[in-house]
Amino acid sequence: MTQAETNTSQSLKPFFILWSGQSVSLLGSQLVQFALIWWLTQTTGSATVLAMASLAGFLPQVVLGPFVGVLVDRWNRRLTMFAADASVAAATVVLAYLFWIEAAQIWHVFAILFIRSLAGSFHWPAMMASTSLMVPKEHLTRIQGLNQALNGGLSIVSAPLGAFLLGVMPLQGVLAIDVVTAVFAITPLIFIHVPQPARQPNGEATNLASFWSDMREGFNYLRSWRGLLVMSGMAMLIKILLNPAFSLIPLLVTGHFGGGAMQLGVLEAITGVGIVVGGLALGAWGGFKKRIVTVNVGLIGLGAGLIVMGAAPAALFVMGLAGAFVVGAMISLIDGPIMAILQATIEPELQGRVMMLFGSLISSTVPLGLIIAGPVADLIGIRAWFMATGVLTAVIAVAGFFMPVLMGVENGRSLESTVGEQLRTEPVI
């Protein structure tokens, strides 16, 4: 190992300690997510209820995202992550107690999902913005590939494990596991140093700058980056149908394929296998020369996978599993490059604001889709929703190849004026 490699390994050690603790906590969070959604499915059997549960999880990011981003850029990011993880654990304890005394109701689950999502809306930008300061820029894409593989691996483990645990213990027992795993996320934050951007939370710049001025700065940054605005617009259209489709998967399994908790666990595990394969491929391959090409290709594949899931006959559950595998693999090829573009391009002191604005824009149409999805899916069928989503996603992705501003998004704001010339002189792939 060369001296440079040794230095890189040493510099990445704090990040991987932090990352490992968060990974253990994510397992507990996914177990809880699976358990609560399955409880709602078994208790109500309603597409509308599942859509409303997803809505409760999206509202904090959509409504509060711009404000959260400003706060994340102002606050100490280590303490922000600590408070977010502790809040999730506390909310889970309350819900576990309600189930223990047999007093839990549907609105309690919605409230806890909202609280967990609110805490996550602080944790995610703080972790992503910290990553860009703890990891050398040249390794960001590989780290994102690793993150995608982790998410897929956790899906493989958590879905079948969640189904098994629900069969051998009450729901409050599964919730208790999440509280224990949260300790693994909180403990490293006590000891690990998380770098802050040049603008310190307690520094003079923060004291002099107003909250609204900071928010306007984030809006202006995003507004002046035309490529990111176009990419956000495309994602908003896709999200109208995509997230409701994901929220309706339990009913696709039970209502169409005639399966139970184990079949749902298997489908989610196969999706996780796809995410792992896609993440590992992204980490090893690195994607096309232009990261946005990898994103568009992934969207086309995602659309194809959704069409296969919706078109699979009731007797061919294996066909639905094949579509789920493709969906998982494509998610890695979409999310990984997008995050690498943002982390490598946005200034560290602005990442909290811009990332949350970007996420809020993308998610702003999700509530509309979720509100419509339940009643419409109950009326026309869940399979039709999946196939329509797949077709729309693929069409939008193909159109993206013919948008010069989008194809030059990774050049950032300052170079967008030369994107047209670059696209005429450089190969697309």
Q: How far apart are CA 24 and CA 154, in angstroms?
A: 9
Q: What backbone phi and psi angles, to 5 degrees, belong to 106?
A: -60, -40
Domain assignment of residue 165, yes or no: yes
Residue 42, CA atoms < 13 Å, CB-side half-sphere: 13
For residue 24, give the CATH number of its domain: 1.20.1250.20
Nearest CA-CA partner of 295 in 376, 351, 352, 234:
234
The full DSSP string for 172-240 is: HHHHHHHHHHHHHHHHHHHH------SS-TTSHHHHHS-HHHHHHHHHHHHHH-HHHHHHHHHHHHHHH
Looking up tokens 């300690």 gives 17
Domain assignment of residue 2, yes or no: no
Helices (H), 312-365: 317-345, 351-363
* pLDDT score, position 122: 87
* pLDDT score, position 418: 41
Q: How far apart are CA 314 and CA 308, in angstroms?
A: 12
Looking up tokens 């001025």 gives 213
Domain assignment of residue 324, yes or no: yes
Domain assignment of residue 420, yes or no: no
Q: How far apart are CA 40 and CA 249, in angstroms?
A: 13
Q: Cα angle vertex 116, ends 112, 119, to 5°?
A: 140
Contacts of 265 (CB under 8 A, 6+ apart): 34, 159, 160, 161, 162, 163, 164
- Residue 45 DSSP code: -
> Residue-wise over 296-322: b if at least 16 C-beta within 10 A, else e?
bbbbbbbbbbbbbbbebeeeebeebbb
Domain assignment of residue 77, yes or no: yes
* The pair of three-digit structure tokens given for residue 256, joined into one six-digit string: 């169409």
On whether the CB atoms of residues 413 and 223 are closer than 8 A, the answer is: no
Helices (H), 75-170: 77-100, 106-134, 140-168
CA 338 vs CA 152, 218, 243, 359: distances in Å: 17, 18, 18, 11
Domain assignment of residue 232, yes or no: yes
Domain assignment of residue 7, yes or no: no
Q: What is the pLDDT along the chain (429 residues), one digit of tens a residue?
A: 443 444 344 477 888 888 888 888 888 888 888 888 888 888 887 777 887 887 787 777 777 777 887 888 888 888 899 999 999 899 999 999 998 988 888 888 898 888 888 888 888 788 877 887 887 776 777 777 777 788 777 767 776 788 788 878 888 888 988 899 888 989 988 888 888 776 544 444 445 457 778 788 888 888 888 888 888 888 888 888 787 788 788 888 988 898 887 888 789 888 888 988 988 888 778 778 788 899 999 999 999 999 999 999 999 999 999 999 999 999 989 988 888 888 777 877 787 788 878 877 777 776 777 777 777 777 778 899 899 899 999 999 999 999 998 888 877 665 444 444 443 334 433
* pLDDT score, position 412: 65
On whether the CB atoms of residues 401 and 320 are closer than 8 A, the answer is: no
* The pair of three-digit structure tokens given for residue 392, joined into one six-digit string: 């729309």
Question: What H or E segment, with its residue span, contains residue 276?
Answer: helix 261-285
pTM above 0.75, yes or no: no
Number of domains in the chain: 1
CA 383 vs CA 97, 245, 261, 386: distances in Å: 37, 9, 19, 5
Q: Please classify residue 265 by burial: count the beta carbons closer than 10 Å to its beta carbon, then call 0-12 exposed, 13-18 middle and 19+ buried.
A: buried
CA 170 vs CA 25, 35, 37, 82, 89: distances in Å: 20, 10, 15, 29, 18
The domain of 119 spans: 15-191+218-415
Domain assignment of residue 50, yes or no: yes
- Residue 160 DSSP code: H
On whether the CB atoms of residues 152 and 328 are closer than 8 A, the answer is: yes
> How many other CB atoms are found less than 10 A from the CB of residue 213?
10
| 286 Ramachandran zone, left/alpha/beta (phi>0; psi -120 to 50) | left
> How many other CB atoms are found less than 10 A from the CB of residue 429?
10
- Residue 350 DSSP code: G
